[in-house]
Structure 1
Amino acid sequence: MIRYNLSCDDGHDFEGWFASSDDFDSQAEQRLVACPACGSHSVTKQLMAPSVSTARKKEATRALVMDRAQKETIAKIRELVNSIRENAEDVGERFPEEARKIHYGEAEERGLIGKASAEEAIALLEEGIEIAPLPVLPDDVN
């Protein structure tokens, strides 16, 4: 797909996506391309700089994605996750079993973290056992 910056004869700017340059030309010739603001079919392509993807450009884009407020929110979430991890027992693969024991009064109530498949998590929730996944934060996967 090719994205074109377009303009109508009334000066409205907008964009359109086409399969190819020929596709735009064909649709414009058949008067299928119209300005969304005024409906004019007199539409032309505007000059565009090519978008070349480079490693440097990708790195710069990644660094600009999160604004200050988002970074602060992520930091607060990270603090919360760290607090949960510090104050819970990591039971690993035994999580569903241990959660059930606590829920049914067979084990002392305490905070748990561990692993459960999607099916196991659904089954726990259907049994009325309150669980929640720990979020995976951006730095956790990079």
Structure 2
Amino acid sequence: MIKYSLVCDNAHEFDSWFPNSDAFDKQAKRGLVECPQCGSQKVSKALMAPSVSTSKRRARNTLIEHIPQPAPASAATPPVPAPAVQQPVALLDDQQQQMRAAIRELHQKIAENTVDVGKSFSDEARKMHDGEKPQRAIRGEATFAEAKELWEDGIPVLPIPSLPEDRN
């Protein structure tokens, strides 16, 4: 696994893990990498200093692995900068597994009760709002800017979080 420091076109910085060095390029090209703060898919690798392993750093990392880690921050809090040393990766706890199960259930209910209009979501929603098309429950894809514009024009939209395994 490789951890990259990333930056979007709005200068938001964040980190993400990838299985290998080619994975970022492939996922970014497919539009699967997006900024967690603004949803922009124009993301690039930030300049990073290489991590060189020394005996002193290995000893420090061994000590850090034994320090209890704080509970994960909620989605409402801003991201915290990554620590200077590599931290051990934890498996999902019960609360995180329940959250993912709830999101999966939400996705299933939405799929069962809506019509997928794909990338024409913004146009379809606007036509229904303007009375050009009959009202119906739809789902689809919209950029952050398109969704914001719909919302500002009084057209109710709701972004649905994607599941992490859907983006891999």
Match of 1:83 among 105, 109, 112: 109
Q: Aligned-pair RMSD on alpha carbons?
A: 2.8
* 1:84-99 to 2 correspondences below 5 Å: 84-99=110-125
Distance of 2:146 and 2:95 partners within structure 1: 35
Deviations, residues 63-98 of structure 1 (Å, cap 9, x unaligned): x34211220121011111111022111111211111
Query: Shift of the alpha carbon at 1:125?
Result: 0.8
Which residues of structure 1 form unaligned runs of 5+? Answer: 1-47, 53-57
Larger % of strand: which?
1
Secondary structure of residue in 1 paired with 2:166: helix
Deviations, residues 5-41 of structure 1 (Å, cap 9, x unaligned): xxxxxxxxxxxxxxxxxxxxxxxxxxxxxxxxxxxxx
Counterpart of 1:49?
A: 59
Which residues of structure 2 form unaligned runs of 5+? Answer: 1-57, 63-85
Match of 2:129 among 93, 103, 120: 103
Counterpart of 1:133?
A: 159
Greater length-normalized contact order (CA 8 Å, ≥ 6 residues apart): 2
Distance of 1:120 and 1:138 partners within structure 2: 23
In the superposition, the TM-score normalised over structure 2's length comes to: 0.46
Percent of pairs with identical residues: 43
Query: Shift of the alpha carbon at 1:49?
Result: 2.2
Larger Rg: 1
Secondary structure of residue in 1 paired with 2:139: strand
Larger % of helix: which?
1
After TM superposition, which residue ranges in structure 1, 4 or more long, deviate above 2 angstroms? 48-52
Pairs aligned (count): 89
